[in-house]
Amino acid sequence: MKRILGIDPGLLHTGWSIIDIAGSTRKYIASGVILPPTNIPFAERLAYIFNGISDICEKCQPDECAIEIIFVNKNSKTTLLLGHARAAAITSVAVRNIPVFEYEANKIKKALTGVGHADKDQIYKMLSILLPTAHPKTNDESDAIAIALTHANTSRFE
């Protein structure tokens, strides 16, 4: 059995999920969203993300991590800020020697729906079929589950 941590990074909302895989079996364990307070300094928000992912790693003991690769936004400042949040999450996992695997948004969508430009509703519908016990409350949480499932479905585990 392998335990996978899926992360959808964001400075305002960082979605996370934990799934277990054994052979062709996928089991939803937990998911949620890390919400750094918006009224604290930027560095403290990054620390909040780092600490939130650290807590999840301590509680859930993932074997591997899958995270979304950011795309370049029209606003380069937004892309840079998102990159910082992503780095905080990756570093939190990497200091625990948990391997990190990265996936582009289109690859995640295609792995779950067969369509690289699927919308959020299509992703959510596939999640409800593939992991019927998962009931994400936000898009960030849903995306984190999708990222973990993509890793589970595209990687070879022994």
- Token duo for residue 144: 């984190």
**20, 140, 141, 143: which one is catalytic?**
140
CA 106 to CA 24: how far, in whole Å?
Answer: 23
**pLDDT for position 124:** 84
Residue that is written with structure tokens 């799934």 in the block: 19
What is the number of domains present in the chain?
A: 1
**8, 20, 64, 141: which one is catalytic?**
8
Burial class (CB in 10 A: 0-12, 13-18, 19+), 50: buried
Strand order in the sheet with 64-68: 25-34, 14-22, 2-8, 64-68, 100-103
Domain of residue 56, CATH code: 3.30.420.10
**pLDDT for position 158:** 46
Q: Which residue segment(s) compose the domain that 64 sits in?
A: 2-154
* Positive/negative CA dihedral, 33, 39, 44, 46: positive
**pLDDT for position 84:** 94
**pLDDT for position 42:** 95
pLDDT (tens place) for every residue of the chain, 158 residues total: 999 999 999 999 999 999 999 988 999 999 999 999 999 999 999 999 999 999 999 999 999 999 999 876 677 787 888 899 999 999 999 999 999 999 998 899 888 888 778 888 888 888 989 999 999 999 999 999 999 999 998 876 54
**pLDDT for position 133:** 95
* 140 has catalytic annotation: yes
* 68 has catalytic annotation: yes
* 158 has catalytic annotation: no
Locate the DSSP E strands across the chain. Answer: 2-8, 14-22, 25-34, 64-68, 100-103
**64, 68, 141, 143: which one is catalytic?**
68
